[in-house]
């Protein structure tokens, strides 16, 4: 764990932080933990302590579930990143769109995120600066300021990073809003009953919406890799897709996913592109404990410098899921 977070998670510093920086009445442990990490440098919390779990959608997008399964989700559309499996039905939606400007390959990025409560909604869209909507109305949130979301939570801004708290459920979300895309990190209690692309907190399995578990098989050459078929993975992803009709307040609707399209691997890079990416990623690897080498090679190899800033936002994983062509 990073030294900075070790200090932040001490009871003394958390107590001091909450008493001196916009303390929120009845704030819960996971919101405390995530906000303390975010408050220092505007970054996502990393390696949640034993009361909480982190899940994330980073870059183009690389997903790490709450239980530590890592996989790539390269299809456009609106998807339910996570939802609580309870009466509140709180959920986080993402709009993934294809960035067609890249010469190597068209990659998918997250252009907007939406938080849904029963009586309130909040949206964050990519841009410079990011564009915000609260209950469908565009709002302006100045740097180092906070806006309440009814009585349920709040959103705070620190530069290009936003912190969203759902106090009743003890859930925190950090959205790093870059001009071209968004990184989203969700922190939940370790006993939360969650569904969606970020999976659940109990085990590494992924489930379709109200459906079966995604079938996987072990890779005999690497105990840290599981494999799944394209058809099964497409069924899982499609089950969490929502028709992009009026879901978000603005922005171009996402294309429908083509589940037969090529799934790019590092083998699709030329030797020169892969070597260039390897050199850059080797330089970055010493800078952040949350570094993800596989994700970095994809990001730099296919996207150049576009996703370099995201390397510090990855979460630790214990297993990688590869989709078979």
Task: For the beta carbon of residue 53, count every other beta carbon within 10 angstroms.
Answer: 27
- The confidence score (pLDDT) of residue 309 equals 73
Confidence of residue 39 (pLDDT cuts 50, 70, 90): confident
**Within a domain: 71:** yes
* 3-state per-residue secondary structure call for 21-74: CCCCCCCCHHHHHHHHHHHHHCCCCCCCCCCEEEEEEECCCEEECCCCEEEECC
Q: Tell me: the pLDDT tens digits for 118-131? A: 999 999 999 999 99
Question: Is residue 6 predicted with pLDDT exceeding 60?
Answer: no
- The confidence score (pLDDT) of residue 314 equals 76
Residue range(s) defining the domain that contains residue 118 = 51-324
Ranked by mean pLDDT, the top range of 98-112, 213-227, 260-274, 299-313 is 213-227
pTM: 0.87
- The angle subtended at Cα 315 by Cα 312 and Cα 319, nearest 5°, is 135
**Within a domain: 46:** no
**Within a domain: 105:** yes
Question: Is residue 258 predicted with pLDDT exceeding 80?
Answer: yes
**Within a domain: 21:** no
**Which residue, chain included where needed, has tokens 């009445």?**
25
**Within a domain: 37:** no
- Could you tell me what percent of the chain has a pLDDT over 90? 56
Looking only at Cα atoms, what is the longest distance across the chain?
Answer: 55
For the residues 293-312, what does the mean pLDDT come to?
75
Structural domains in the chain (count): 1
Compute the distance between CA of residue 34 and CA of residue 9 in angstroms, rounded to an integer: 9
Token pair for residue 80? Answer: 């339910």
Question: Is residue 17 predicted with pLDDT exceeding 50?
Answer: no
**Within a domain: 8:** no
For the residues 251-261, what does the mean pLDDT come to?
87
**Within a domain: 12:** no
């Amino acid at each position: 764990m990073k030294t900075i977070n070790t200090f932040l998670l001490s009871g003394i510093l958390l107590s001091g932080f909450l008493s001196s920086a916009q303390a929120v009445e009845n704030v819960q442990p996971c919101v405390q933990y995530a906000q303390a990490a975010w408050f220092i440098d505007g970054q996502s919390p990393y390696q949640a302590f034993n009361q909480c779990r982190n899940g994330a959608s980073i870059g183009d997008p690389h997903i790490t579930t709450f239980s530590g399964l890592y996989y790539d989700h390269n299809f456009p559309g609106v998807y339910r990143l996570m939802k609580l499996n309870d009466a509140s039905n709180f959920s986080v939606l993402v709009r993934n769109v294809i960035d067609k400007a890249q010469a190597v390959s068209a990659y998918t990025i997250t252009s907007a995120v939406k938080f849904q409560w029963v009586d309130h909604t909040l949206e964050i869209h990519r841009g410079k600066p990011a564009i915000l909507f609260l209950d469908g109305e565009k709002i302006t949130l100045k740097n180092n300021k906070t806006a309440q979301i009814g009585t349920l939570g709040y959103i705070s801004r620190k530069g290009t990073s936003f912190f969203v708290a759902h106090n009743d459920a003890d859930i925190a979300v950090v959205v790093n809003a870059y001009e071209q895309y968004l990184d989203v990190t969700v922190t939940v209690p370790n006993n939360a009953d969650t569904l969606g692309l970020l999976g659940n907190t109990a085990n590494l399995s992924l489930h379709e919406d109200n459906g079966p578990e995604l079938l996987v098989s072990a890779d005999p050459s690497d105990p840290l890799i599981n494999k799944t078929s394209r058809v099964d993975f497409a069924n899982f992803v499609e089950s969490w897709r929502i028709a992009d009709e009026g879901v978000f307040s603005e922005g171009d609707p996402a294309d429908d996913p083509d589940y037969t399209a090529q799934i790019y691997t590092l083998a699709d890079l030329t030797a020169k592109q892969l070597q260039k990416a390897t050199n850059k990623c080797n330089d970055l690897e010493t800078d952040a404990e949350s570094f993800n080498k596989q994700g970095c090679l994809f990001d730099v190899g296919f996207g150049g410098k576009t996703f370099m800033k995201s390397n510090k936002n990855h979460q630790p994983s214990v297993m990688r899921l590869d989709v078979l062509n």
